[in-house]
Structure 1
Amino acid sequence: MNALELHQLVNEISMTYFNKPFKDCVAFNERLRTTGGRYLPSKRKIELNSKFLTELGMEEFKGIIKHELCHYHLHIEGKGYKHGDREFRQLLKKTGSPRHCQPLPTMQNQTLLTYKCSGCNQRYNRRRRIDTNKYRCGKCSGKLKKEI
């Protein structure tokens, strides 16, 4: 999907669910890792993660676009456009937009590392390796060991 097709899709969804045109910029952002998209109020720009389109399909991607359009239209109208605002939650319900997107299947397959405290046997699951000489147990300050 190129930039023109993406803008047409976003404008079509905007007209269908919000009865308002989308006049600003929309683009793919490959650096987004854990989120499906984001709205930048200062630039009035929507950035979308193309991995969600390829891995989860068009329906999930349209849900992400609807969610970001809720931010966009409320911001333009001067209403509460942040996740905690009542107007935002009401518009999400009205348009059938998801509050959160599903996690990517490729992100779910990341290996977890398990560390165990030698003092109290507390277990810590981490995605990234930690320096066991630098960090201690948060419960009893015991030494951590990597579990195999």
Structure 2
Amino acid sequence: MTDQELQTYVENISQVFFHKPFLHRACFNARLRTTGGRYVLNDHSIEINPKHVTEFGLPELEAIVKHELCHYHLHLGGKGYKHRDVDFKTLLQQVGGARHCRALPTAVPRHTYECISCGLQFKRQRQIRTGRYRCGKCYGKLKKVASDG
């Protein structure tokens, strides 16, 4: 899906579920990491995390867009647009938007370290310097056991 297709998609959802036009910009933002989307207060634009679309498909995208449109329409209407506000919670429930987006799959640990003293294993995404770090349980030295990358 391109940014132009997303723009059309957001405009359609706004018209169908909110009965109001979406007059600003909607686009994908690949730099978003911990959220499915965001409503930018300064320019009233909506940014969507493209990873959520590729991982979970259109139903997840629709729920995220509805959530962000709740922020959008309530903010422009001068009502409570924050997550804790009653106006926001009520409108979100009326349109069937998601309160939270689904979590993206996390990265798989590639490096395994083991304590020489107690045998406790540590799995890490990034490599660590074994001479600098010690076991958190017994303060023993660490050695690298396996590497998948």
TM-score, length-scaled by structure 1: 0.74
- Letter aligned with residue 33 of structure 2: R
Which secondary structure state, in structure 1, belongs to the residue aligned with residue 38 of structure 2?
strand
Q: 1:34 to 1:75 in 2, by over 3 A?
A: same
CA displacement 1:90-135 (0-9 Å, x = unmatched): 111111111111112xx33x2358999xxxxxx9987667788888
Q: 1:146 to 1:96 in 2, by over 3 A?
A: farther
| Aligned twin of 1:89 | 89
| Aligned twin of 2:24 | 24
| Aligned twin of 2:117 | none
Q: 1:147 to 1:10 in 2, by over 3 A?
A: same
Q: 1:58 to 1:133 in 2, by over 3 A?
A: same
Cα distance between partner residues in 2 of 1:81 and 1:17:
17
Cα distance between partner residues in 2 of 1:127 and 1:23:
43
**Looking at CA atoms only, which structure, 1 or 2, has the larger radius of gyration?**
2
Which secondary structure state, in structure 1, belongs to the residue aligned with residue 26 of structure 2?
strand
Cα distance between partner residues in 2 of 1:3 and 1:42:
20
Q: 1:39 to 1:137 in 2, by over 3 A?
A: farther
Equivalent runs, 1:1-148 vs 2, <5 Å: 1-83=1-83, 85-87=84-86, 88-104=88-104, 107-108=105-106, 110-111=107-108
Which secondary structure state, in structure 1, belongs to the residue aligned with residue 46 of structure 2?
strand
Cα distance between partner residues in 2 of 1:64 and 1:57:
11
Q: 1:130 to 1:92 in 2, by over 3 A?
A: farther
TM-score, length-scaled by structure 2: 0.73
Q: Percent identity, aligned pairs only?
A: 51
CA displacement 1:78-101 (0-9 Å, x = unmatched): 111111x33311111111111111
- Letter aligned with residue 4 of structure 1: Q
RMSD of equivalent CA atoms: 2.8
In structure 1, runs of 5+ residues without a counterpart are 117-122
Cα distance between partner residues in 1 of 2:35 and 2:98:
13
